[in-house]
Amino acid sequence: MKRVVITGMGTVNPLAHNVNETWDKVLKGESGIARIKRFDPSRCTSQVAGEVKDFSRENLYINPKKGNRLDDFVAYAAHALKEAKTQSGFSVEENPWRVGITLGSGLGGIDAAVTNVTGLNEKGISGISPMYIPQTIGNIAAGFLSMEYGFKGPNMSMQTACATANHSIATALMIIQSGQADVMVAGGTESGVNELIVGAFGRMRALSTSYNDTPEKASRPYDKGRDGFVIAEGAAVLILEEYEHAKARGAEILCELFSVGMSGDAYDLVMPDPEGNGAYQAMKSACEMAKIDPSELNYINAHGTSTPLGDIGESKGIYKLVGDDQSRLSVGSTKSMHGHLLGATAGLEAIFAVKSVMDNKIPANINIENLDPDVAVSCINREVVEREVNYALSNSFGFGGHNSSLIVGKVR
């Protein structure tokens, strides 16, 4: 089977506008979560978020006339792809039919949807923009960026809630392994910090509400005082490449992508299986496909959303996977620093998994003041760990029971 490696990465998120600065802040334990500034959040039960700060579209698009008419989730993806493509240095012109893209979004152009519904209510049909459909459909980021760069290979968009980016990466992996492309752009993007979405998640009682006055403490996976996730936004893109193709052009290989295991809970619309059975199956499948024993894992970037049920269920799944011997393993959730980027979160956390392999450093969990005794694993680190990271696994699960577990590691 063809081997797949990662040769480029890019991101924009609540912490920073590039990979290196983001990684530096994560290792320092900095938080990108603050009181919402994009709108007055006083009507919402949760008033904190991980917003992208000081973002500019200047020099962002090759075709700004078209690009600037699209929603922020497309702009975020364009920014992340620009960084990733620059690092990778792959050529599209050599054979555009061998370069593809799988990039999704959980919500799509929800900001444009809110604007157009308001226009409809105020002005009738004339209040709807002629661009409404391309502004809002979730696949338009992949479609537009393929036009920007001339990608003529497989062009797809996943939408599996918070597992979107991992499923995008999984699809890209399989496309390369099947021989349909040499290079694939993969990841996720999201722009959903508006009153409708924050209010809606609040009505579900899914968001943190107890830390509105101390936003940096609101996302606290595994802490006994956690009370919901913190919504965030941004994008993350990885360049996947067939190993021999990358070697032949002298590319810098960041790490190898070994597998993405997937499963379905078949349990509830929004609640995860409380015993973590689906999570366990996805992780187990990932290890089997990567041809490694779970004991060889050195880092698990957990989904860890800071919800009362989700953190416990996932920890049970991890325990089923690794058992009592956790001496070479660290488990943590970087969402404590950047919040939950919904459809983009798996992409950002995949980048952290890659960086942990590259730098042999594992980020700390912040905001654990009182570790929940129901957490099933004992290897949740509160300080940065420096150890050899040969294999890192990154979990992302979504509403609807979508489970995904990605494994990256040193090239073997």
Interval 181-199: pLDDT, tens? 999 999 999 999 999 999 9
- Residue 43 has a pLDDT of 97
Among candidate residues 144, 141, 199, the one with its CA nearest the CA of residue 165: 141
Is residue 163 within 8 A of residue 398, CB to CB? The reply is yes
Q: Which CATH superfamily is domain 261-409 in?
A: Thiolase/Chalcone synthase (3.40.47.10)
What is the CATH architecture of 4-248? Answer: 3-Layer(aba) Sandwich (3.40)
Q: Which residues pair with 405 in a beta bridge?
A: 261, 395
Pairing of strands 99-104, 330-332: unpaired
Q: Nearest 5 degrees, angle CA 21-CA 67-CA 163? A: 55
Give the mean model confidence (pLDDT) for residues 138-158: 97
Q: What is the pLDDT of residue 217?
A: 98
User: What residues contact residue 200 under an 8 Å CB cut-off, 6+ apart?
Assistant: none
Bridge partners of 402, per DSSP, are: 264, 398
Using DSSP's 3-state secondary structure scheme, residue 30 falls into coil
What local confidence, expressed as pLDDT, does residue 50 receive? 98
pLDDT at residue 108, as a whole number: 97
> Taking the domains of the chain in order of start, what are their residue ranges?
4-248, 261-409
- pLDDT band for position 276 (cuts 50, 70, 90): very high
- How many CB atoms neighbour CB 20 within 10 A? 12
Q: Helices 345-359 and 164-177 meet at what angle, rounded to 10?
A: 70
Give the per-residue pLDDT at 352.
98
| H/E segment holding residue 402 | strand 402-409
pLDDT tens per residue across span 7-42: 999 999 999 999 999 999 999 999 999 999 999 999
Q: What is the pLDDT of residue 368?
A: 98
Among the options 44, 162, 255, 287, which is catalytic?
162
Residue 109, classed as helix, strand or coil, is: coil
Percent share of the chain, pLDDT over 70: 100
Q: Which helix (H) or strand (E) holds 398?
A: strand 391-398
Residues 98, 182 contacting (CB under 8 angstroms): yes
The string of pLDDT tens digits covering residues 33-83 is 999 999 999 999 999 999 999 999 999 999 999 999 999 999 999 999 999
Where is average pLDDT lowest: 61-65, 80-84, 209-213, 296-300? Answer: 61-65
DSSP-derived secondary structure letter, 103: E
109-125 pLDDT per residue, tens: 999 999 999 999 999 99
Q: pLDDT band for position 280 (50/70/90)?
A: very high
As a whole number, mean pLDDT of residues 254-264 equals 98
pLDDT at 9: 99
Q: For residue 27, what pLDDT is reported?
A: 98
| 19 vs 338: CA distance, rounded Å | 13
pTM of the model: 0.97
Angstrom CA distances, 402 to 239, 303, 358, 364, stand at 23, 12, 28, 26
Average pLDDT of the segment spanning 291-306: 98
Region 84-105: mean pLDDT is 98
Domains 4-248 and 261-409 share a fold: yes
Q: Is 379 in the active site?
A: no
